[in-house]
Structure 1
């Protein structure tokens, strides 16, 4: 197996420090978010790509723990249809790694013109997104050179956790500060199970990645990583949606990768799905889920015990490592997937 170190692998290792610096900068801003949010009742998330997967985490977090209705925006309503609507009482949260994706900035400006208050989450200090937002949560991931988002994604999740705290979520900020230590623990684990999953993914053309609730964002982001860096036909699905028909594609040549926190209300369903996949003769690989999910899967990567609401920030790390290693084993450059750039402009 090649031992070449990619930029992506180096940036995966930088995540604990990026998260510490980000949390140090953003946690003191929870009060500022709280003051802005007093004028609002619900949240509209505006994002694309990995940032949109982060928004899914934010949506579950704010609804489950903050008691506010959330919606994922359709930016084309603003940029293509130029629709006008009443967004008074709405907090529009735009998420963009660079802060320079015109569609996202334009959609946030449109939301403000429609009466929304605005928050921008970005790694781009001084970017158009920060200049246009009422409050800017600027992550401290540093310069990210590899095209697949790693440290910018996990710092976005941390920013969304701070957002939830500012919106009144009854969560422990002290546990959030412990996430960098958790990721260091994940990175220090033996890699035998992760290596074995990579070996079994060589030669497959597609995979289904599934989780539910807080972990749904991880399934979506893991699938995106495998698509963009390994060119797999990877589908990220809630297990509830998977059972409504797409499970038919899971077979011995199309494995399922299942992600879950070690505890929480969605774990039993994830375990049941693993058992169903195994009964169909298809490979099932787990990330997290404790002993229950490991016992139902062919192979599973163990994860430290953290509260379900924090688990997605660390659950994505094994998926990042699998993606980087699999891309190299397939002869691809994970730092520069074909046809992709660091900033994607859409209209």
Structure 2
């Protein structure tokens, strides 16, 4: 896991180099489609949450996350003739995701696969496959496959923005992603160790965020759960205020994840103060200086725009989780009860 975290700058650069030239083809394929349906599970589902925000905020196209059981268990009849279905799977071999893609086509959708395996069933079944260049990922927890999926979704949504007549992202911003990843890998080890040490002292963890970085919040929670066997609840801070904040006390540690700027940062800064008043220790990832000052321990995120920060914002969390696993005497490469490819019905 540690080695694969370190491979992310090269993996992101290779993925963007391969996929950015495909934007005209993506735009042509999606021409006239008014909705985006995102299909995924696990870490890929957290990447898809980012894709949903980007579709609506950047491309101006309505987007939603699919419930695959509607296809695989109920075989519902749904009119998707105005829909672009984007199905995301690291292996491209999860039967449920492949079957859901095939169901969307039967319902009239145009389909795009995002996968790390070029000759996978998912890539073969789609109208167009966007192949990430993460390389073989041997550790069970997704690290470089996750960030390259987020990059692929950014490329796809930029193509949709262009086809909708909106301004696409500047290529200059994409060209800086590798450097942003390297900067995240250079996060001071002593701060990461201190944050991992704080997490090792508690049994209850809450993660919270909102907006474009919310998928990163949920991916942070998932990594803590699967790699460190910590029960973690990931919530939007809006949902947190609707009742669950009652559970926050000195026995619970709060991890807040924020983009570098944007309308969600003030609310997360306020939330940091609120949970500290309830005697919960607060760890912060990203945000601005005011946000980080409101936390007990914090690390900066990438010096990127809010819209592209999620491509690398997860890296400090990955580094913390890998350290925490070792502190707990766990093997981060092979979490208990998990396999690289998970099959669901």
Asked whether the two chains share a fold, i.e. TM above 0.5, the reply is yes
How do 1:131-150 residues align onto structure 2 when only pairs under 5 Å count? 131-150=124-143
> Which residue does the alignment assign to 1:233?
231
> Which residue does the alignment assign to 1:318?
316
Distance (Å, rounded) in 2 between the aligned partners of 1:255 and 1:203: 9
> Which residue does the alignment assign to 2:56?
63
> Which residue does the alignment assign to 2:272?
274
Question: How far apart are residue 81 of structure 1 and its match?
Answer: 0.5
Cα RMSD of the aligned pairs, angstroms, is 0.9
Alpha-carbon displacement from aligned partner over 1:186-242 (angstroms, at most 9, x marks no partner):
112322211111111113112111110011001100000000010111111111111
> Which residue does the alignment assign to 1:254?
252
1:106 pairs, out of 92, 99, 109, with: 99
Alpha-carbon displacement from aligned partner over 1:59-102 (angstroms, at most 9, x marks no partner):
00110111000010000000000111111010000000000000
Distance (Å, rounded) in 1 between the aligned partners of 2:172 and 2:108: 34
Distance (Å, rounded) in 1 between the aligned partners of 2:191 and 2:288: 14
Secondary structure at the aligned position of 1:255 is classed as strand
Question: How far apart are residue 176 of structure 1 and its match?
Answer: 1.7
CA contact (8 A) 2:302 2:313 kept: no
How do 1:91-102 residues align onto structure 2 when only pairs under 5 Å count? 91-102=84-95
Distance (Å, rounded) in 2 between the aligned partners of 1:113 and 1:98: 23
TM-score by length of 2: 0.97
Structure 1 unaligned segments of length 5 or more: list them: 1-7
> Which residue does the alignment assign to 2:174?
176
Is 2:150 the counterpart of 1:152? no
> Which aligned runs of 4 or more in structure 1 are off by greater than 4 angstroms?
none
Distance (Å, rounded) in 2 between the aligned partners of 1:177 and 1:155: 14
Alpha-carbon displacement from aligned partner over 1:111-149 (angstroms, at most 9, x marks no partner):
000000000000011101111111100000000000000
- Count of paired positions: 340
Question: How far apart are residue 304 of structure 1 and its match?
Answer: 3.3
Alpha-carbon displacement from aligned partner over 1:141-166 (angstroms, at most 9, x marks no partner):
00000000000000000000000111
> Which residue does the alignment assign to 2:195?
197
Structure 2 unaligned segments of length 5 or more: list them: none
Distance (Å, rounded) in 1 between the aligned partners of 2:201 and 2:192: 16
Distance (Å, rounded) in 2 between the aligned partners of 1:304 and 1:159: 18
> Which residue does the alignment assign to 1:130?
123
Distance (Å, rounded) in 2 between the aligned partners of 1:245 and 1:289: 25
Question: How far apart are residue 25 of structure 1 and its match?
Answer: 0.3
Distance (Å, rounded) in 1 between the aligned partners of 2:92 and 2:302: 33
